[in-house]
Amino acid sequence: MNIVLTYDPRWEYTDKDRIPFWASLDTVDYIAELLEKTGSSVLLAAADSTFEFKLKEVSTKYPNALVFWLNEFMSSDSGRDIFTVSIIEKIGMMHTGPGSEALAVCLNKETTKDIFRKLGLPTPQSYVVYPDDFSPICQNRHWKGNVIIKPLLQGNSRGMDEFSVVSAHDRMTIRERAERIHTKFNEPALIERYIGGKDAKEFTVPVLIFHDGTTIGLPIIEIDLSQIPVSQGKFRFLTHDIKDEKYYLKYPPELSPNTIRRMYSDVRRIIQAIGCLDMIRVDCRGDSTGLYYIEVNVNPGKNRFSYLIASACALGFTYPEIIGFMPYQAMLRYGLKPPIKLEELERPILALHDVGMIPASQCSRSINLIHQPTDLASSSS
């Protein structure tokens, strides 16, 4: 099996005293070794100005090659980053993960919220402020409580800081914050009703998706807001500067069994509506008025300390098993036969294929952030 492994040429190696981020050459080396040891031939492809030409050459020489894109974005002649998979789709090659359409839907927070609304799922009220058009701020001045102001198209809490929550009536500050986002990110700002208060809770729902549409609901993780620093003396939410620290993860979450079942059911509907593949993570936040869906991550983080990996480890899965899940499911999706060694690696996950939602009693251990060993010996356990 030939697998093209894409990466961003701007990536570098991580310092030896740090755990590698996904966007690093360490990740490229690790996954290339994992795929080679599980029976595939790996072709590395830097997503640079020659990327499309290189993929065309590969597709001609190896018509059944599968592209495993590690970098979600790549630079373009326009100066703005584009989805790497959009070039892969243009050539017509098989690939892991979601397509550019699903990525585009979930990149835009308001478009995602429109999906929630069409499905009848609760999501906080919101409106978008575009550069040079601040009329929505006046049109929505009747709102009560507070709002949280975010960049419309950024992930990983970028653009979020201790001043992101303001009174819904404070039109001057809302405009000031929106203008700051316009200037810093060159994109619109999302103004969203803030779900807060003493009883506020936050959760993330990770799910694995098989090639036939079957899903495994990994353990829901609670963001322990009591561990989050208080902003402005009363607000607790994740900001960009603490997003990667993960000291605030809590398992099991304080949710009733009925609520957990409903959340998994809702996420399955979201998966079908958007066309998600391989894996997904949905974020939600609740208070005394109910539970509200916030965002969908169709390409969730896959660092050893990411939410999805931490949740999968709570079921006893290893890091190689989760990484290998993506090319394995993509091969089945395209009617390719996976290498025997890769299938052996994936057996622990395949054993749960028909289970779907995982009850908390099946979790082998509580979540911890000790990263999995990087060798493949652990994959056979």
So what's the pLDDT on residue 19?
77
**Where in the chain do CATH 3.30.1490.20 domains reside?**
125-193
Which pLDDT does position 78 carry in this prediction? 78
Cis status of the peptide bond prior to 252, with omega within 30 of 0: yes
How far is the C-alpha of 351 from the C-alpha of 353, rounded, in Å?
Answer: 6
**What is the C-alpha to C-alpha distance for residues 93 and 90, in angstroms, rounded to an integer?**
8
Residue 376 pLDDT:
33
First to last CA, the chain: 25
**Would you state the pLDDT for residue 372?**
34
Rounded CA-CA distance 291/284 in Å is 7
Q: What is the pLDDT of residue 233?
A: 63
Distance, C-alpha 354 to centroid of its chain: 24
CA-to-CA dists, residue 297 to 45, 104, 116, 293, 319, angstroms: 25, 11, 14, 12, 19
Residue 36 is predicted with a pLDDT of 98
Range(s) within the chain of domains with CATH label 3.30.470.20: 201-380
The answer to whether the CB of 166 falls within 8 A of the CB of 129 is no
Torsion over CA of 15, 223, 367 and 277, rounded to 10 degrees?
A: -80
Separation CA 137–CA 171 (nearest Å): 6
Mean pLDDT in each 10-residue stretch from start to end of the chain (381 residues)? 97 87 94 98 97 97 97 88 96 97 96 98 97 92 90 85 90 95 95 89 94 92 84 73 72 89 95 96 93 96 88 91 97 97 95 59 38 33 29
**Does domain 201-380 sit in CATH 3.30.1330.200?**
no
CATH topology of domain 125-193: Dna Ligase; domain 1 (3.30.1490)
Q: What pLDDT is attached to residue 363?
A: 42
Instruction: Using DSSP, state whether 293 is helix, strand or coil.
Output: strand
pTM of the model: 0.89
pLDDT at 243: 64
Dihedral angle computed from the Cα positions of residues 197, 297, 328 and 40, in that order, rounded to the nearest 10 degrees: -120
Contacts of 235 (CB under 8 A, 6+ apart): 146, 162, 165, 194, 196
Instruction: Give the pLDDT score at 245.
Output: 67
* 72 residue type, one letter: E
